[in-house]
Structure 1
C-alpha cells in the first residue's frame, strides 16, 4: 500500500496537482472503515504518514520550481585557463558598458549548474564556450560569440549580423581555432582572471575564485 501511495504521489508531483490529491492530504478512499475500526492508532499513523509524504512532495515540487530561477541569464561559461578565451572576455568586459554579460570560469564549481541545465559537461564547454542567454535559451561556439555581440552597444552589435553566414561554415572556423588555441596562444595552470582581480566584479564565481586565490597564498 505504501508503495502505491509513493507511486501516486510521484505522479501527482510530475503533474503539479498536489492540492487536490485524496492520497496525500487525507486517507485514500479505498481504506475501508471496517479495516481501520479495529485500531484507531493504526488509522492515525496512516493519516500522519500521508500528511508527511504530502509535505515532502510539496517541498520537492517547490524546490524544482525555484531552482531554475537561481541561474542568472546572460552568463558566459568559458575556459578560464585559455589565453585566447581570457583576452576575449577582457574585450567583452571593456565593450559591454551596460554590464549585461556576466562570466564564469569552466573550472569553477559555480559553472556546474549552468552546464547541467544545458545537458553539457566540461569537455563540451571546453570545445565550444557556452552562453546562457536566458531561461531555456543557450548557445555554443560561433553562435554563442555572435549572440554575445548582439548584446553589446554599437558599433560592436553590428558584428552579430555575421549570423547570416551558414552555421556549419562558422563553426568549422571556430572549431579549428579552438583546437589549436593552446598551441597558438598558450595555456595557464589556473584561471587567468586571478591575475587581474579587478575584473572579478563581472564573474558569478567571484567568491570561489577569491577563495582559491587566498588558499594559494
Structure 2
C-alpha cells in the first residue's frame, strides 16, 4: 500500500468522512460573530439537515480548500463545497439559500443580479464584519444537538 493509500484509509485524515457531493459543506470564518450567526441561522432553516459545517482554518476546511485550488489563508469569504464544486462569496450564499426551507429558498432568484454587483456588496459586508459584529478569540463549540453536523471534531 502506498503512502497516499494509507492516508486515504487513515481515519484521522481530515477528509476521511467528508463527502461534499452527498452532503454539501459550508466553510466559514470560525472567529467571526456574523459567520456564527449565519451558521446558526442555516441550522435552524435546514430542516432536512443537508449542510455540514467546518471553519475555514480547520484541518477539514484547509484540506477542502486545497482540494479545490482555493487559498488557505483568506477568510473573507464563505465557501460552499458541493456536487458542482467550490463556490465563494455571493454565489456560495445564494446556492446555500436555494436549499433552505421556504421562504429563504426564494433568495435564489437574486442570482439574476450580476455577480460583480452581488460580490461588491458581499465584500463590503466582509470588510466591516468584525467592526460591526465583533469576533471571538476562538471558534465556539457547537450546541450538542447540532454538533454532528460539524465536520471539525476538535470543536467537540
Q: Which residue of 2 aligns with 1:183?
A: 131
Name which structure has the greater RCO, CA cutoff 8 Å, separation 6+. Answer: 2
Shift in Å, 1:95: 0.2
- Please give the secondary structure, in 2, of the residue aligned with 1:122: coil
Of 77, 80, 83, the residue aligned with 1:131 is 80
| RMSD over equivalenced CA pairs, Å | 2.3
Larger Cα Rg: Structure 1 or Structure 2?
1
- Please give the secondary structure, in 2, of the residue aligned with 1:123: coil
Question: How many residue pairs were aligned?
Answer: 146
TM superposition score normalised by structure 1:
0.61
Partner Cα separation in structure 1 for residue 69 and residue 116 of structure 2: 21
- Please give the secondary structure, in 1, of the residue aligned with 2:63: helix
Q: Which residue of 2 aligns with 1:19?
A: none
Shift in Å, 1:69: 8.8
Shift in Å, 1:196: 3.5
Structure 2, unpaired ranges of 5+: none
Mapping of residues 1-217 of structure 1, within 5 Å: 71-73=18-20, 74-124=24-74, 126-134=75-83, 137-192=85-140, 194=141, 196-205=143-152, 207-210=153-156
Q: Which residue of 2 aligns with 1:20?
A: none
Q: Which residue of 2 aligns with 1:215?
A: none
Shift in Å, 1:122: 2.9
Which of the pair is proportionally richer in helix? 1
Q: Which residue of 2 aligns with 1:22?
A: none
Partner Cα separation in structure 1 for residue 67 and residue 118 of structure 2: 25
When structure 1 is superposed on structure 2, of 103-112 and 68-77 the one drifting more is 68-77
Structure 1, unpaired ranges of 5+: 1-54, 211-217
TM superposition score normalised by structure 2:
0.83
Shift in Å, 1:72: 1.7
